[in-house]
Amino acid sequence: MISVAENQIVSAELLTDKSLLQQHIKMTVDTEPAVDVHTHVLPPEFKGLFLSGIDDLLTYHYLIAETLRSTDISHACFWSLTKAERADLVWKTLFVDNTPLSEAARGIVSILEAFQLDSRTPDLEEARTFFSAQSPQEHLERVLTMARVSDLVMTNDPFHEQERKIWDSAITFDGRFHASLRLDSLLNDWTNARQFLEQQGHQVSSELGSESVAEIRRFLDGWILRMHPVYMAVSLPADFQFPANDQRDLLLRSVVMPTAMEHGLALALMIGVKRGVNPALRAAGDGVGRADVAALERLCVEYPSVKFLATLLSRENQHELCVAARKFNNLMPFGCWWFLNNPSIVSEITRERLELLGPSFIPQHSDARVLEQLIYKWQHARASIAAVLFETYGRLLDSGRAVTAQEIKRDVRRMLSGNFCNWVNLPAGSALSRPNQN
Ligand code: FIX
Ligand code: ZN
């Protein structure tokens, strides 16, 4: 049995032996640094918005939804608990009284395993002691190394009061964290966004005349200058339509698309969420709906110079997204978002994308909210991606073309960082050259 050492020179030898091929693929996928193109992780400098440690991990909305299915506690009673009490209940319900079989629960086990913490303990004492003993900076370093994440893109909302105050304090933070300018409030909640803009001193009328448009563009220009976002982003409901006779269409045409073109910024569209299907679950209460991919196609047609990143929440939309990407080279599919981020579905989507798009897509993003989630989200994603790549290279070999380890590394690097860095003009491994932003 020939083993492949991690630091072995990447040979140009053709890999005709399937087990050697499998080893090379696994080693390459496991060690290649990834750019995490969409997260909600903020660096320690963002204070209260920086989430890390066992209590934040267990009160993740995925686990809250699962816990409230397996307990008869009322939602109101659950929300009246402290964060630590909620974490205790999640632990007892999903890890003590039941086997942690779900993907999100297994994620916690993978994280505890990574830090050699016991995932069978009846309580959280050991984990709490461990995580509270970590210095944020060293821990950040360790987590990024364990997850093999070279750069990550945050979700930054200029309409979020607490976050806005932190940006106003001109903080500096680790250059591996890249901003994205989130536009949900502007495009999905115009009434409140207008009030917020007025409080910020921007004269905007609900009719969105040219003066209002100029004001909103001034607002966005100001945040682009401050955040240096790598892209602008918005999540859109399943019933999103373009064109449409509504405020969102007007804001897209008169504000967002001109801003994207002027600043050369890509626009990330995350389509198919139904917010607040069950409001009693708060952040855990969002659902999914099938979207009309034609709306995305029409955006690509109408704005050929704008680069779109797109992820769709509904499983039923994945094939259509692949086909749309074959039609528009200004459309980059990325990630298996949220309810799709499960091994069986990640494999299915990745397989279909490879078959229809070759390596011209971004296979995954973590959507992590808590720092340590990067460890399991990437560990699990890499396992699924490596397995599907072995199938794909294996079929190519059966068809008569062997590949080299160098070619595997080139393809994997393209999918885990190159495609995104080229799309948003982010020099690969950019963090190394720029220690602290701002
Ligand atoms: O819109 C988004 O960015 C979603 O990812 C979030 O709203 C969602 O709550 C989430 O964390 C999914 O993983
Ligand atoms: Zn997200």
The DSSP element (H or E) to which 149 belongs, if any, is: strand 149-153
Residue minimizing CA distance to atom 8 of ligand 1 = 338
Calpha distance 121→54 (Å, rounded): 13
Measuring CA to CA, how many Å separate 296 from each of 68, 90, 180, 321, 332? 35, 39, 20, 9, 11
> What is the reported pLDDT for 428?
61
> What is the reported pLDDT for 427?
77
Q: State the ligand closest to the CA atom of 234.
A: 1
Residue 81, SS3 per DSSP = coil
**Residues lower than pLDDT 70 in the chain:** 1-11, 428-438
Q: Which atom of ligand 1 is nearest to the CA of 369?
A: 11
Record the pTM: 0.96
Ligand 1 mutation pick, 36, 39, 40, 373, max ligand atoms within 8 A of CB? 40
Calpha distance 386→20 (Å, rounded): 13
Q: Are 322 and 293 in contact (CB under 8 A)?
A: no
Q: State the ligand closest to the CA atom of 62.
A: 1
> What is the reported pLDDT for 27?
98
Q: Are 367 and 60 in contact (CB under 8 A)?
A: no
Tokens of 288: 């999914």
Measuring CA to CA, how many Å separate 229 from each of 220, 225, 251, 298, 338? 11, 8, 19, 25, 23
Residues 6+ apart with CB under 8 A from 46: 163, 166, 171, 173
Ligand 1 center to 231 CA (angstroms): 17
> What is the reported pLDDT for 68?
98
Residue 25, SS3 per DSSP = helix
Measuring CA to CA, how many Å separate 345 from each of 99, 188, 315, 339? 21, 28, 8, 9
Over the stretch 112-168, which tens digit does the pLDDT of each residue have?
999 999 999 999 999 999 999 999 999 999 999 999 999 999 999 999 999 999 999
CB atoms within 10 A of CB 171: 14
Residue 361, SS3 per DSSP = coil
> What is the reported pLDDT for 436?
46
Residue minimizing CA distance to atom 3 of ligand 1 = 235
Q: Which atom of ligand 1 is nearest to the CA of 38?
A: 3
Q: Which atom of ligand 1 is nearest to the CA of 338?
A: 13
> What is the reported pLDDT for 10?
61
Ligand 1 center to 61 CA (angstroms): 10
